[in-house]
A and B are shown apart, each in its own frame.
Chain A
Amino acid sequence: MQVTLKVMRYDPNKAAKPGWVSYQVEAEPMDRVLDLLHKVKYFQDGTLAFRRSCGHGICGSDAMLINGKNQLACKALVKDLTKKAGDTITVEPLRGLPVKKDLVVDMDPFFDAYRAVKPYLINDEPPPDRERLQSPEDRARFDASTKCILCAACTTSCPVFWVNGSYIGPAAIVQAHRFIFDSRDRGARERFQALAASTGVWRCRTAYNCTEACPREIPVTQAIEEVKRAILYDKF
């Protein structure tokens, strides 16, 4: 069937402002939006720019705003976005990050926030000869936050982040959660500096957009709440 793919396009070298461009594309119900973007790029307009790599939802390259919701283009299927032939699917770049070209946004502010929470195991005790021991229960405590693929779908769905880009955002807090609740980690307090700052967790207004946007089904808002409580009742 034919669908209309309406893409928000922008090349700062060519135009002052972004604008919509519509493409008629032949689509199968099981096609990914990524397939449609490829069809446009390969057979209609080679200048269309977007990121992608793995094509099945684990590399985090192709998060974008699809029909008004943050999704991975490789996990969003035509059958779930259209009701009938001729329907329109809209595609826009993630909000809140500077657009570099078409669907490509500047990821540097996102990764700066990631780095601010010290996203690595902190433990200066000399490790044992074998593995550090961890019970399956302790391992399960932070399992969900290990799924994060740093796609930025959560952070760029957050209304607080849209208004104030200095907010470190849900993704960085999920990364902090992954370590704060790891029984092997000793760095919670170091991370609290960034997390409790005016740009940290207290900015969160529990809008739940992040949880809805996460393509990995991480309970992001819950993770943020757990980090807030960890700071309040500092047991570390």
Chain B
Amino acid sequence: MAHQHDVIVIGAGGSGLTAALYAAKQGVDVAVISKLYPTRSHTGAAQGGIGAALGNVEEDHWEWHMFDTIKGGDYLTDQDAAEIFAKEVIEAVLELEHMGLPFDRLPNGRIAQRRFGGHTKEYGKAAVHRAAHAADRTGHMILQTLYQQCVKHNLTFYNEFHVTDVIIEDNVAKGVVAYELATGELHTFQAKAIVIASGGYGRAWKVTSNAFTLTGDLQAILYRKGLPLEDMEFYQFHPTGLFPLGILLTEGARGEGGILRNDSGERFMERYAPTIKDLAPRDMVARAMYLEVREGRGVGPRKDHVLLDLTHLPAETIHKKLPDISEFAWIYQGVDPTKQPVPVMPTAHYAMGGIPTTLSGEVIADDKNTLIAGLYAAGEVACVSLHGANRLGTNSLGDLVVFGRRAGTAAAKFAKSAELHDLSPDASGESRERLERVRNSSGKESVAALRAELQQAMQDYASVFRTEELLAKGVEAVAELQERYKNIGVQDKGERYNTELVEAMELGYLLEVSEATVHSCLNRKESRGAHAREDYPERDDKNWLKHSLVYRKNGKVDFMYKPVVLGKFEPKARTY
């Protein structure tokens, strides 16, 4: 079936819905394609808050937020993006409130704010209350509120449609091909502008906070076309994944006073970050936890995790401000956080890297900032680069609304002066061929087994600490799995809700983004932010203060580079 819209948004999480609302405000015809019902999107799993210098609890300034974001990103953050972000996120949070978002309140009726990792006052002097929150379900409330606005404005949704291709010819984006899960039908969408907002790819790792559906589909679809992905070596491991499942326990727990402890009960973060301790940025805390375990100070029969201690907090604080994570600890570990410390270890959480974009969300095709006309990206799938080498907690939610707005608005303005492009009669041919090949496959390899092997390999070779030796093994493992993927077998040959077919396609995407990731990790010979190379332990600004762009040409993985946008804040040693 063929469809036409002025603007197509791919993905219905925070950035997709924001982009769609802002595009619609410009008076163009907008449709959202989502592989889930919109309220299932993973923005809903975000917990702790959205950081903005509202100054409701104590003095705060956007300049401080900008600085924290840049320092948190280990100076790989583009400073123009950080400036725009720190200013605009204030307005964006107020706008969410105006849309109806039920933020928690202070006694004076203003939005309540809590402390969060890496967010400081006066350029690093002490932690600051910056994270506006709604209990520990802030992401849920953002997703619900944005979807409510989409209902109010009667936007068009194609739910449970899996995008299989973005049609780009001569650097012009012309349309989208999508597979309808309910019927097995392929649809083509002509569009004047397309916004990619499809989220991350945490399912490449074994232990992750991410939903089963976060498989890097659109990163992979562009990468297959030879387009570059930016800074893929920077992947965030959130310190407090509920052990052993990896379910997210918000950093807000430490913002409210929670403490990480090792086997002797020691508050070990005092040794690693004497000023802000447990509220150091995530990369530093995750490494500290790994080191504690490695040096034999882990907890449990295998000494393989540490503890998040909330028992000294008033039970009322835990019940009111952290109800969901308390429930997770209880259900999945049988631990009551008011009485017992919670077992935790880092969990694969967030891609700092992704599809390179300008400040307006325009997708960049190379190291010369060549644009793909009509193609935009925002949110976790994109790399603008706000988060640099390590994202600060809460800045993902801020990113969604600030850069979702910018991308949606820019896409709509572009669409107003553009025409629909004719699609070739066989625009969906490549997608059809790929889908049918998978549907009719009868090889010996099991999709589930290959995926488990990939996740184990990424966990072993491209995790918190990295070395040349491990990463070389990772490159080899991914290449071998890609070969074996050609020999998969799928049982379900049907058209109706063929989720087995979809999962096989998703494994294909995961393999592509994993390839881009391990190669990028191997390529960057320094330690910066979340990319910790034990064989190159220092940050090397002389050679590596630059963004990497990984791409594949004629089957060979290669790199281009882009300078970091510097500015007000000179790169300095990063201590907390």
Q: Which of B91-99, B508-516, B544-552 contacts A (4 or more CB under 8 A)?
A: B91-99
Contact indicator B98/A47 (Cβ below 8 Å): no
Distance between Cα atoms of A11 and B499 in the complex (Å): 13
The reply to whether A131 and B94 contact each other, CB–CB distance below 8 Å, is yes
| Contact residues, A3-48 vs B (CB, 8 A) | 11-14, 30, 38, 41-43, 45-47
Given A46-B500, A59-B44, A120 contacting B100 (CB threshold 8 A): yes
Is the Cβ of A53 less than 8 Å from the Cβ of B211? Answer: yes
Segment 433-451 of B: residues with Cβ below 8 Å from A: 446-449
Complex contacts, B492 vs chain A, CB 8 Å: 46-47
> B42, A59: Cβ atoms under 8 Å?
yes
The docked-state distance in angstroms from the alpha carbon of A185 to that of B145 is 14
Most buried by B among A50, A59, A179, A184: A59
Chain B residues, Cβ within 8 Å of A146: 102, 134, 137, 141, 144
8 pairs of A and B residues whose beta carbons are closest in the complex: A121-B100, A133-B109, A42-B448, A46-B491, A120-B148, A46-B500, A127-B98, A47-B492
With beta carbons under 8 angstroms apart, the residue of A42, A45, A111, A134 that contacts B105 is A134
Cα of A77 to Cα of B334 in the assembled complex, Å: 11
Contact at A13–B44, with CB atoms within 8 Å? no
Specify which chain A residues have a CB less than 8 angstroms from the CB of B28 in the assembled complex: none
Binary interface profile of B, 464-500, with partner A (CB < 8 Å = 1, else 0)? 0000000000000000000000000011101111111
Instruction: Tell which of B268-276, B283-291, B324-332, B362-370 binds the partner.
Output: B324-332
For window 110-148 of A, CB contacts with B under 8 Å fall at 111, 114-115, 118-121, 127, 129-136, 138-139, 142-143, 146-147
Instruction: List, in ascending order, chain B residues with CB within 8 A of A12's CB.
Output: 496
**CA gap between A58 and B36 in the complex, in Å:** 14
Tell whether A228 is near chain B: CB-to-CB under 8 Å.
no
Contact of B134 with A100 in the complex, beta carbons under 8 Å: no
Does B107 interact with chain A (Cβ within 8 Å)? yes
Contact in complex: B36, A135 (CB < 8 Å):
no
**B211 with A139: CB separation less than 8 A:** no
CB contacts (< 8 Å) of B40 on chain A: these are: 53-54, 59-61
A119 to chain B, nearest CB (A): 5
When distances are taken between beta carbons in the complex, the residues of chain B under 8 Å from A207 are: none
A120 touches B500 (CB 8 A): no
Majority SS of interface residues in chain A? loop
A149 within 8 A of B: yes
Residue interface bits A66-79, CB-to-B below 8 A is 1, else 0? 00000000010100
In the complex, residue of chain A having the shortest beta-carbon distance to the beta carbon of B97 = A131
Asked if B57 is an interface residue, CB under 8 A from chain A, the answer is no
Asked if residues A58 and B140 are in contact (CB atoms below 8 Å), the reply is yes
Say how far B345's CB is from chain A's closest CB, in angstroms. Answer: 16
A60 touches B182 (CB 8 A): no
Residues on the B chain within 8 Å of A111, using CB: 37
Q: Mark B129-157, 1 if CB is under 8 A from A, else 0.
A: 00000110100110010001101100000
Complex CA distance for A129 and B504, rounded to whole angstroms: 49
Name the interface residues of B82-123: CB closer than 8 Å to any CB of A.
94, 97-100, 102-111
The residues of A that contact B523 with a CB separation of less than 8 Å are none
Give how many B residues have a beta carbon under 8 Å from the other chain's beta carbons. 58
- With A59-B40, A130-B94, A132-B98: A46-B490 Cβ-Cβ less than 8 Å: yes
Report the nearest A residue to B98, measured CB to CB: A127
Using CB atoms, name the residue of chain A closest to B248: A56
B151-A120 in contact (CB<8A): yes
A55 with B212: CB separation less than 8 A: yes
A145 to chain B: closest residue by CB: B102
A56 engages B247 (CB within 8 Å): yes
Say yes or no: is A226 at the interface (Cβ < 8 Å to chain B): no
List residues of chain B with CB within 8 A of the CB of A143.
102, 135
Interface membership of B26, Cβ < 8 A: no
- Chain B residue at smallest Cβ distance from A148: B144
Does A49 have its Cβ within 8 Å of any Cβ on chain B? yes
| Most B-side CB within 10 Å, residue of A58, A75, A107, A133 | A58
Judge if B45 is at the interface, Cβ distance under 8 Å.
yes
Known contacts A53-B211, A120-B148: does B44 contact A149 (CB below 8 Å)?
yes
How distant is A222 from chain B, measured CB to nearest CB, in Å? 18
**Complex alpha-carbon distance, A55 and B137, angstroms:** 16
Residues of A that sit less than 8 Å from B by CB: 11-14, 30, 38, 41-43, 45-47, 49-50, 52-61, 75, 77, 100-102, 104, 107, 111, 114-115, 118-121, 127, 129-136, 138-139, 142-143, 146-147, 149-150, 179, 182, 184-185
List residues of chain A with CB within 8 A of the CB of B500.
41, 46-47
Select A142's contact among B41, B102, B103, beta carbons within 8 Å.
Answer: B102
A interface footprint on B257-276 (CB within 8 Å = 1, 0 otherwise): 00000000000000000000
Which B residues touch A138, using CB under 8 A? 105
Q: Which residues of A contact B447 (CB under 8 A)?
A: 42
Instruction: Give Cα A58 to B135, complex, Å.
Output: 14
Is A179 touching B100 in the complex (CB atoms < 8 A)?
A: yes
Contact assessment for A49 and B499 in the assembled complex, using a CB-CB cutoff below 8 Å:
yes
Complex alpha-carbon distance, A57 and B42, angstroms:
12
Chain B nearest CB, measured from A37 CB (Å): 11
Q: Which residue of B lies closest to A118 (CB)?
A: B152
Contact B499 A131 (CB under 8 A): no
Question: B496 to A115, Cβ gap below 8 A?
Answer: no
Cβ contact within 8 Å between A133 and B37: no
Query: Does A136 lie within 8 Å of B106, measured CB to CB?
Result: yes
Q: Is B213 an interface residue (CB 8 A)?
A: yes
**A136: nearest chain-B partner, CB-CB:** B105
New A-B contacts (18) at CB < 8 Å, excluding given A58-B140, A59-B36, A182-B102: A41-B499, A43-B446, A49-B497, A54-B211, A55-B212, A56-B247, A58-B45, A59-B39, A59-B40, A100-B496, A101-B497, A114-B151, A131-B103, A133-B108, A135-B109, A149-B39, A150-B37, A150-B39
The CA of A100 and the CA of B183, in the complex, are separated in Å by 10
Name the distance in Å between B398's Cβ and chain A's nearest Cβ. Answer: 16
Interface centre among B105, B106, B149 (most CB of A within 10 A): B105
Contact partners of A107 in chain B: CB under 8 A: 37
Q: Is the Cβ of A139 less than 8 Å from the Cβ of B137?
A: no
Q: Which one of B141, B182, B449 contacts A100 once the chains associate, using CB atoms below 8 Å?
A: B182
Q: Would you list 23 pairs from A and B whose C-beta atoms are within 8 A, ordered by A residue? A: A13-B496, A14-B494, A49-B496, A49-B498, A50-B499, A52-B212, A54-B42, A54-B45, A55-B247, A57-B328, A59-B36, A102-B497, A115-B151, A121-B100, A130-B110, A131-B98, A131-B110, A132-B97, A138-B105, A139-B102, A146-B141, A149-B44, A182-B100
Residue pair A53, B332 in contact (C-beta under 8 Å): no
Q: Would A184 and B213 count as touching, CB distance under 8 A?
A: no
Q: Report chain B residues within 8 Å CB of A47.
A: 491-492, 494, 500
Chain B residues with CB under 8 A of A185: 100
A58 touches B212 (CB 8 A): no
Query: Which chain B residue lies CB-closest to A185?
Result: B100
Residues from chain B with a CB closer than 8 A to the CB of A11 are 494, 496
Is A60 in contact with B39, judged by CB distance below 8 angstroms?
yes
Q: When A119-B148, A121-B148, A149-B39 are in contact, do A139 and B212 touch as well, CB less than 8 Å? A: no
Cα of A100 to Cα of B296 in the assembled complex, Å: 52
A147 touches B211 (CB 8 A): no
Distance, CA A52 to CA B36, complexed state (A): 9
